[in-house]
Amino acid sequence: MRFLNHLTLGQYVPTGSVVHKTDPRAKILATLSILTGVFLADQWQVFALWAAFLTIVVVMSRLPLSMVLRTARPVIFLVVFTAVIHLLFSQGTPIFRFGILKVTEEGLRMAFKMGSRLFLLVIFAGTLTLTTSPTELADGLEHLLSPLKPLGFPAHEMAMMMTIAIRFIPTLLDETDRIMKAQLARGADLDSGGIIKRLRAFIPVLVPLFVIVFQRAEELAIAMESRNYKGGAGRTRMNPLVWRSRDSVAFLTVLVVTVFLVFLNSRMSLV
| pLDDT in the model for residue 1 | 44
Stronger pLDDT, 199 or 13, i.e. the higher one: 13
Q: Please tell me whether residue 82 adopts helix, strand or coil conformation.
A: helix
Distance (Å, whole) CA 267 – CA 172: 45
What are 232-251's pLDDT values in tens digits?
Answer: 666 666 677 888 999 999 99
- The DSSP 8-state label assigned to residue 168 in this structure reads H
Q: Burial, 40: exposed, middle or buried (Cβ in 10 Å; 0-12, 13-18, 19+)?
A: middle
Distance (Å, whole) CA 57 – CA 44: 20
Dihedral pair phi/psi, residue 12, rounded to 5°: -115, 125
Q: Taking every pair of C-alpha atoms in the chain, what is the biggest distance, in angstroms?
A: 68
Q: Please tell me whether residue 94 adopts helix, strand or coil conformation.
A: strand
If phi > 0 it is left, if psi is from -120 to 50 it is alpha, else beta; for residue 98 that is beta
List C-alpha distances in Å: 154 to 3, 15, 46, 109, 148.
37, 33, 38, 43, 8
Q: What is the mean pLDDT of residues 210-229?
A: 84
CA torsion 212-217-220-225 (nearest 10°) is -140
Which pTM does this prediction carry? 0.75
The answer to whether 171 and 216 have CB atoms below 8 angstroms apart is: yes
User: Does residue 155 surpass a pLDDT of 70?
Assistant: yes
Q: Please tell me whether residue 25 adopts helix, strand or coil conformation.
A: helix
Q: Name which of 23-27, 100-104, 217-221, 223-227 the model is least confident about.
A: 100-104
Strands 101-104 and 94-98: antiparallel
Q: What is the mean pLDDT of residues 103-108?
A: 76
CA 32 to chain centre: 12
| pLDDT in the model for residue 3 | 43
Nearest one of 109, 166, 126, 115 to 34, comparing CA atoms: 126
Q: What is the mean pLDDT of residues 150-176?
A: 77
